[in-house]
Amino acid sequence: MSQKLDAKIPEGNIAEKWTKYKSTVPLVNPANKRNIEIIVVGTGLAGSSAASALAEMGYKVKVFCFQDSARRAHSIAAQGGINAAKNYQNDGDSIYRLFYDTIKGGDYRAREANVHRLSEVSGNIIDQCVAQGVPFAREYGGLLSNRSFGGTQVQRTFYAAGQTGQQLLLGAYSALQRQVGMGTVKSYTRHEMLDVVNIDGKCRGIIARDLVTGKLERHFGHAVLLCTGGYGNVFYLSTNAMGSNVTAAWKAHKKGAYFANPCFTQIHPTCIPVSGDHQSKLTLMSESLRNDGRIWTPKKQGDTRKAIDIPEEERDYYLERRYPAFGNLVPRDVASRAAKERCDAGYGVGTSKMAVYLDFAANMKRYGRVEATKQNIHNPDEETIVRLGKEVVKEKYGNLFDMYKQITDENPYEVPMRIYPAVHYTMGGLWVDYNLMTTVPGLYALGEANFSDHGANRLGASALMQGLADGYFVIPYTIGAYLSNEIRTAAISTDHEAFVEAEKNVQSQIEKLMNIKGTKSVDYFHKKLGKVMWDKCGMARNEAGLKEAIAEIRAIREEFWKDLRVPGSANEFNPELEKAGRVADFIELGELMCKDALNRNESCGGHFREEYQTEEGEANRDDADYAYVAAWEFNSVGEWTLNKEELKYENIKIAQRSYK
């Protein structure tokens, strides 16, 4: 078997680990920092925050993204909010409670020490963002406003309408551009990293393709940070941006970085349902809507009446029925499965019958009445109540309602939204230790690209928190543990044979893709892969299905390398070639996801194995055999070795997760 994984968790009491570690971790002095080069791949919340913070400290930074501007990284699309244990609402929140909620929400498959640190720094993130001029939502008194998200009973989510990710990313991007202007960061947009370069067992740089000219470039760094986001697009249809991909992480995996818990995928309960085969992506309707929306289906199977024609007593508010304590605010995995259960049982709505209602009518009226009282309107008529209620809802979620209308041509102020679960986020990712270093020395993974904080299910509004925590407040300290030993390493020439060799390999992969000259487009293969993944490695999985999926994915891989057609040439702007490289990696990843799902003979969080459920249909976890992180080591395409990191719960008592 394989090397033992050392998570490098500091000794001591959970509440003191980070503080103590932070003040003892070796430092790099300012003069030496100027000679140390760091490569940051990705400009989402994790990448932009890391790159700007490291540059502010004095390191020489290069930052890469495939979009035309750092500001367009996928983080921009995050809607609902960001968590922080500020307890501004005086509702009993604390660092411990956020820590507890996250561990429990993750169904006891996350690492305690990392999650506690995340909770500790969460408050600093809000402070930092406000100082940068991020315009969060505020109350009339001028203080910050909060809303609730799933899986918690406190209000700890900070937001900017339904555009929180946009505002946070623009804040981080501003900080980054400031450093670019000062010359401490060099920015490479429209560049795609296509391999990492290891020298004497350490990561020393990357190979990137200039997407405009097609030219391959070699870049040296004393350390490389992958902040390249999640791999939800392996399913073809997801809420991720079209370009989101696994390529950077996957190339690193093939060069020695272990891939952890690949099968842990988050299917988000509230997305706009698929409308036809032309569909290129799915659109999220933020979880924040569940604050004010009630989810229901008709009580009668196959009911074809319009929503407004179905009387109250014939509606089944199934989440409130099944989970009275959390109601519509159960965690995502639970809400998604419950929606699937209703639709599979024949209670779905809409033309496809694969949808449930998310209804704002009741809360719109409640807001209307409150607003009427505020405005001193006594005995308001129905029309006034509805009008005032709409105004409140518009202020909270206006952009989301507009987006819904734009896509479906239905007005959600008048009729309930139709929603269905869709792939949204990937908890799995590159395995990292407490320092956020992968199994390759000098190679780090931050943000959604790593696996560390969300276990088997992420709570809403926690990804933005993690991205910024990793970049602003964790890596600036933990990277010192490695770089303090690198101050004597002079910059390595990119003529070094390892760079030459890596570039040659990238070149030959590109040529291989261009030279297949088959008959089918990249999308053809991507859709085919996505369907297998969704049907057999999606919301519900079983042994037979996963075995079939592995065989089918292998067949897709073979067909891909025989019959793919990439038009144009390699030395120009060629989006089809970019996609081809990404789909090649998704195909290999898909197989590993199924293998991981097959290995995990239990149900936990987003990983639901049909064989392992309670009588009430809830996930049945097996802590005796599976309380570990599955960290896969790449041997060759289709061949991996499993390494295990045991998870120890010393501060939170591991228990059956209940939201009833």
Ligand X SMILES: Cc1cc2nc3c(=O)[nH]c(=O)nc-3n(C[C@H](O)[C@H](O)[C@H](O)COP(=O)(O)OP(=O)(O)OC[C@H]3O[C@@H](n4cnc5c(N)ncnc54)[C@H](O)[C@@H]3O)c2cc1C
Is 459 a binding residue for other proteins by CB under 8 A? The answer is: no
The window from 224-232, 411-419, 513-521, 544-552 that contacts ligand X (CB under 6 A) reads 224-232
Does 164 engage in binding with ligand X (CB under 6 A)?
yes
Contact yes or no for 569/215 (Cβ under 8 A):
no
**What burial letters (b/e) apply to 550-579, b meaning 16+ CB within 10 Å?**
bebbeebbebbeeebbbeeebeeebeebbb
**447 touches ligand X (CB under 6 A):** yes
The residue within the footprint of ligand X, chosen from 248, 252, 403, 427 (CB under 6 A), is: 248
Q: Is position 139 an interface residue for other proteins (rule: CB under 8 A)?
A: yes
* Catalytic site includes residue 332: yes
Residue 604: name the closest of 108, 197, 167, 120 by CA.
Answer: 108
Rule CB under 8 A: say whether 72 interacts with other proteins.
Answer: yes
Instruction: For the segment 67-96, give every residue that binds ligand X (CB under 6 A).
Output: 67, 73-75, 77-82
Query: Could you say which of 45, 76, 85, 419 contacts other proteins (CB under 8 A)?
Result: 76
Count of residues that interact with ligand X, criterion CB under 6 A: 47
Q: What are phi and psi of 111, to 5 degrees?
A: -90, 120
Cα separations in angstroms, 437 against 114, 312, 431: 13, 54, 8
Token duo for residue 33:
């920092």
Q: What share of the chain is helix, strand, coil (3-state, %, to 5)?
A: 40, 15, 40
- Is residue 640 close enough to count as binding other proteins by CB under 8 A? no
Which of 332, 541, 557, 600 is an active site residue? 332
Judge whether 84 and 123 are in contact, CB under 8 Å. Answer: yes
The angle at the Cα of 107, spanning 104 to 113, to the nearest 5 degrees, equals 65
Give the containing element (helix H, strand E) for 61. strand 60-64
Amino acid (1-letter code) at residue 82:
I
* Residue 223 interacts with which of ligand X, other proteins, none, CB < 5 to 8 Å by class: none
Stretch that binds ligand X, among 21-29, 42-50, 313-321, 381-389 (CB under 6 A): 42-50
Candidate residues 35, 124, 484, 505; the one interacting with other proteins per rule CB under 8 A: 124
Given 41, 343, 393, 619, the residue binding ligand X (CB under 6 A)? 41
3-state SS, residue 586:
helix
Q: How far is the CB of 193 from ligand X (least distance, A)?
A: 4
Work out whether 112 is an interface residue with ligand X (CB under 6 A): no
Tell me if 224 sits within 8 A of 214, measured CB to CB: no
Report the DSSP pairing between strands 356-359 and 417-426: antiparallel
With binding defined as CB under 8 A, does residue 472 bind other proteins? yes
Binding mask 275-314 toward other proteins (x if CB under 8 A, else -) reads xxxxxxx-xx------------------------------
Q: Considering the complex, what minimum distance in angstroms separates the CB of residue 269 from other proteins?
A: 18
Q: Which does 387 bind (CB under 5 to 8 A by kind): other proteins, ligand X, none?
A: none
Residue 351 or residue 493: which is nearer to other proteins going by CB?
351
DSSP notation for 387-449: HHHHHHHHHHHHHHHHHHHHHHS--TTTSPEEEEEEEEEE--EE---TTSB-SSTTEEE-GGG
Nearest-angstrom CA–CA distance, 196 and 257:
11
| Residue placing its CB nearer to ligand X in the complex, 198 or 247 | 247
Q: Which stretch binds ligand X (CB under 6 A): 226-234, 330-338, 543-551, 600-608?
A: 226-234
Please report how close the Cβ of residue 276 comes to other proteins at its closest, in angstroms.
3
Query: Which chain residues interact with ligand X by CB under 6 A?
Result: 41-47, 64-67, 73-75, 77-82, 164-165, 191-193, 227-230, 239-240, 244-245, 247-248, 284, 286, 424-425, 447-449, 461-464, 467
Give the residue numbers annotated as catalytic, written as ranges.
332
